[in-house]
Chains A and B, each alone.
Chain A
Amino acid sequence: MKHWNRSLILGVILSMAFVFIWSLETFAQNQKNNKKTAATKKAAVNTKASSVSKPAAKAAAKSESATNAKSVEKSAAPEVVGEESVLEEVADVDVPLKDDSAVSQGPPPDQTSLVKDVQPQMVKMSKDKKFKINFEDELITGAQDKPELETIFSRKKMNFKKMIRLRENFINESEKGKEFFREGI
């Protein structure tokens, strides 16, 4: 009887320990996945991929699904209606965004590294999954009267933001002008 009791208690303790360790592992795994997903999302939003227009990038930052669709563009080549439209998922889209397997296993991209290299590996698509993209509400009409430099930056393939620091003002130069009044010219 004593032996039976002891083995029962031992069994219960062991099973509790197992459950505890398992829950810890699961929690740690989830944390890791969340971090990676956030990092890849940040990289995808920060860099304007050449194929995605400015409004599309904004929409992608707002919703997870749009980010997913944007990253899918190159690899899966979904049905695209217009260049300026925002990619939007419909209810029957099933893309494993938070799934560990869907996110690349590499470290979060460095600020200086080019995101071009990271992007194609971001999402793995299975052939069975279908996409339906609705562009109706996102149609933009008209043209830009005054092209801004930033727009041109986004159109070019080169990473101009890293290359140049735009001059926003000439305050330092103006500061030096004060000396001209002391010279009494």
Chain B
Amino acid sequence: MKVKKQKKISLRLQLILLSLLPFLISPSARSQTPSTVPKAKVRVAQRAAAPNDYKSAIDFFRKKEFLKSAVLFHKVGYKSENINEATKTRAKYYLGLSLVNLKLNQVATVPLIVAAKQSSDPEVRRKSLNMIIKIADKVDDPKLLRFALENLDVSKVSDVSKEVFYILLGEQYIAEGKIKEGTAAFEKALSLDSRDLSAMYRMGVAYLKLNQPRRAAEFFKRMYSYLEKRKVTNAQRGLAIISVARANYQMKNFAEAIEWYKMVPKDHPFYRESQLELAWTYFRSVKFRSALSTLETLHTPYYDNFWDPESLTLRSILLMFICQADEAEKVIQTFDRLYNSSYQTIYDFIVASPDPQLLWQEIARARAQLKKIRERQPAKSETRLPFFLVRTILDEPKVRLRLRLLDDMDKEKAILEIFKSETPFLSEFGRKIIEKRTLSLRRDIAIEAKNEIVTKLSALADFSTQMEFINYENITLKKELTKVKMSTPEANKEQEQFSRKVFVENGYRYWPFQGEYWRDEIGNYQYFGRNLCETLE
């Protein structure tokens, strides 16, 4: 009863307070401030900008007190009425610069765009656009880039932005299939800064596309020479190594490619990728056993939880090459269990749910699950899509980059929360921008993930067809092996020659297999047996 009474009283109080709320807030405040901002702060921020504010903001900016300068520039740029438009747009430009220095890149883009669009001063416009290019390159926003490139004259671009500009221009050409024009643009970027790794790498990739791997290798090696002294786990260093290996592979210089692939350290993000490519290289240089051992690494439980149908296809073919039909059959079954069975689920999900929000939810769940796994907590799969697919998608560079931006935006949000007590208006201004950007970024991630899934599905269809052929040939091989086994019983006796308990040869001691392997000694095991392919011949 008491509880009910208390509830009634609290409800009445709430109603009374709600009805009085409009009278508590002053009319001017009601028209301009959001309800979340404290009353005292509102009055401070509401004060019209004084003519001195712009000067003092500039002083703060020069002293590198960016928060104070940002507050004042925001006031001058957005909240003043008596100041002329030219000063306002200048203030917006400086607000953008101050925000960039406060690591609020996403928030900074809005005043900079306004300054670039509205300013009558060509200098302010040029500088704003230059800054936008830098931010766009940093945050990888294609819309922002397009806006900057459309409004900018190359002759008026600053040297630092010029580099970015030429790289972006080259990328644009490459995307349109004009590879030679693309390389010319990258050359220009390199002429501005000969140590520009990004331009160097793009140049290499362009030459790979032009099927000139020798020239590509030159650029990648040059890139590696600049990165050689960095940490072995450095991503760009590893990228340079793996790129040289790829160029060598393309020019069919397999021996050198193998040496470069082996240089990728085990704890490097490119290690998993390098293993499959190394297996291909071994395969192409007819080193089947080495290729198999590399693939074994990929099929250990540590790497097993990734979408990688290609490695299974390659493994089954390698096993058939050495006439291990039974082993090949196991691989075919694994492929069927993992990929063929999940194909329909994925297809249905992608076709049935075109809403990017649903895909975003899947990604968010997979991220949470992955976080738990990394923290070694018990994680239950809650995704509708197979976890090993979504996990691989999370690792795709385009998705990973955007997810990182999303995390950066969360950080920006946190920074704005800290500033909230000091600068409520600026915080509110930033919060709205961040919220809008977050929504669009989530949508972008979902769309990008969907594209990746579709690409993987179409590749899987090809691999499935290949597997059907492999299965057919494997059945034929098994049939042949059985025929040989039945027709020549003497061949089986050969194995029995080695069935002694222990014997010594060439410094080795041999024991018969007792049905147990020790994982740390796998590399030390040897086996005897006749090559099955020889029996077939």
Contact = CB atoms under 8 A, between A and B. Distances in A.
Partners in one complex: yes
Given A149-B284, A170-B277, A173-B246, A182 B401 contact: yes
Interface string A135-165: 0000000000001110010001011101111
A183 B405 CA distance: 9
Contacts of B171: 178
A107 interface: no
**Interface range, A side:** 20 to 34
A176 B473 contact: no
Contact of B284 (A166, A177, A179): A166
Interface in B351-407: 396-398, 400-401, 404
Contacts of A159: 469, 473
Given A158-B320, A177-B239, A179-B398, 18 more contacts: A152-B286, A159-B469, A160-B317, A163-B473, A164-B466, A167-B280, A169-B213, A169-B249, A170-B250, A173-B246, A174-B205, A174-B243, A175-B205, A178-B171, A178-B202, A179-B401, A181-B198, A183-B235
A185 B397 CA distance: 13
A176 B277 CA distance: 15
B246 A163 contact: no
B235 A165 contact: no
A40 B428 CA distance: 78
A181 B205 CA distance: 14
A156 B202 contact: no
28 contacts: A147-B286, A152-B321, A158-B473, A160-B317, A162-B469, A163-B466, A163-B470, A164-B313, A164-B314, A168-B250, A169-B249, A170-B246, A173-B277, A174-B205, A174-B246, A178-B198, A178-B201, A178-B202, A179-B140, A180-B239, A181-B198, A181-B201, A181-B236, A182-B137, A183-B401, A184-B138, A185-B234, A185-B235
Contacts of B466: 163-165
Given A178-B201, A179-B401, A163 B239 contact: no
A147 B235 CA distance: 35
B283 A174 contact: no
B401 A176 contact: no
B396 A176 contact: yes
Interface string B98-137: 0000000000000000000000000000000000000001
Interface in B460-478: 462, 466, 469-470, 473, 476-477
Interface string B62-100: 000000000000000000000000000000000000000
Contacts of A164: 313-314, 317, 466
Interface of B: 137-138, 140, 171, 197-198, 201-202, 204-205, 208-209, 213, 234-236, 239, 242-243, 246, 249-250, 273, 277, 280, 283-284, 286, 313-314, 317, 320-321, 396-398, 400-401, 404, 462, 466, 469-470, 473, 476-477
A171 B216 CA distance: 11
A175 to B, nearest CB: 6
Contacts of B283: 149
Contacts of B284: 149, 166
B475 to A, nearest CB: 11
A66 B65 CA distance: 88
B291 to A, nearest CB: 11
A170 B249 contact: yes
- When A and B form their complex, which 6 residue pairs have the shortest distance between CB atoms, in order from nearest? A179-B397, A181-B198, A185-B235, A170-B246, A169-B250, A163-B469
A163 B209 CA distance: 26
B205 A165 contact: no
Contacts of B470: 163
A183 B313 CA distance: 33
A165 B280 CA distance: 11
Interface of A: 147-149, 152, 156, 158-160, 162-171, 173-185
A184 B138 CA distance: 8
B477 A182 contact: no
A89 B202 CA distance: 56
Contacts of A183: 235, 400-401, 404
Contacts of B314: 164
Which residue, of A148, A175, A183, has the highest number of chain B Cβ atoms within 10 A?
A183
B205 A163 contact: no
A178 B197 CA distance: 10
Contacts of B239: 177, 180
A39 to B, nearest CB: 23
A171 B242 CA distance: 12
A158 B401 contact: no
Nearest to B316: A163
B167 to A, nearest CB: 9
Contacts of B138: 182, 184
A141 to B, nearest CB: 22
B469 A177 contact: no
Contact of B205 (A167, A178, A180): A178
A179 B400 contact: yes
Contacts of A173: 246, 273, 277
Nearest to B404: A183
Which residue, of A156, A176, A180, has the highest number of chain B Cβ atoms within 10 A?
A180
Contacts of B209: 171
Contact of B208 (A162, A171, A176, A184): A171
A159 B462 CA distance: 17
A152 B400 CA distance: 41
Contacts of A168: 250
A185 B201 CA distance: 15
Contacts of A175: 205
Contacts of A178: 171, 198, 201-202, 205, 397
A77 to B, nearest CB: 20
Given A158-B476, A160-B317, A173-B273, A182 B201 contact: no
Contacts of B321: 152, 156
Which residue, of A156, A168, A181, A183, has the highest number of chain B Cβ atoms within 10 A?
A181
A180 B236 CA distance: 7
A60 B239 CA distance: 47
Nearest to B399: A179
Contacts of A166: 284
Nearest to A184: B138
